[in-house]
């Protein structure tokens, strides 16, 4: 049976690409999201962690896309 899972590295890369395409620096994104530092942003970019559900919705709003468009999935067996 095949399952669809979130690809952390690809999702982080996608978030970084969306930021770059819109001229949003990590410090700007952190400020917009109410974070005290950029640490979480860099963890997302590197695929070390995934944004929490509420932050996924905030990111989607910032980028003008849906949460489904934000997340990159992969099939695993």
CB of 46 closer than 8 Å to CB of 15:
no
- Where in the sequence is the domain holding 72, given as residue range(s)? 3-76
pLDDT of residue 76: 84
- Structural domains counted in the chain: 1
Residue in 12, 41, 43 with CA at minimum distance from that of residue 28: 41
32-67 confidence digits (pLDDT tens): 999 999 999 999 999 999 999 999 999 999 999 999
pLDDT of residue 10: 97
**β-pair type (3-6, 73-76):** antiparallel
Integer CA distances (angstroms), 36 to 3, 17, 40, 64, 68, in order: 36, 22, 10, 24, 27
CATH at residue 15 = 1.10.260.40
pLDDT of 4 > 90? The answer is no
What backbone torsions phi and psi does residue 75 show, to the nearest 5 degrees?
Answer: -90, 135
């Amino acid at each position: 049976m095949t399952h669809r899972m979130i690809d952390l590295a690809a999702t982080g890369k996608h978030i970084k690409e969306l930021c770059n395409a819109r001229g949003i620096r990590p410090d700007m994104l952190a400020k917009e999201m109410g974070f005290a530092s950029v640490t979480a942003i860099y963890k997302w970019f590197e695929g070390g962690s995934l944004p929490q559900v509420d932050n996924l919705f905030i990111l989607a709003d910032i980028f003008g896309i849906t949460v489904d468009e934000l997340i990159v999935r992969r099939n695993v067996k």
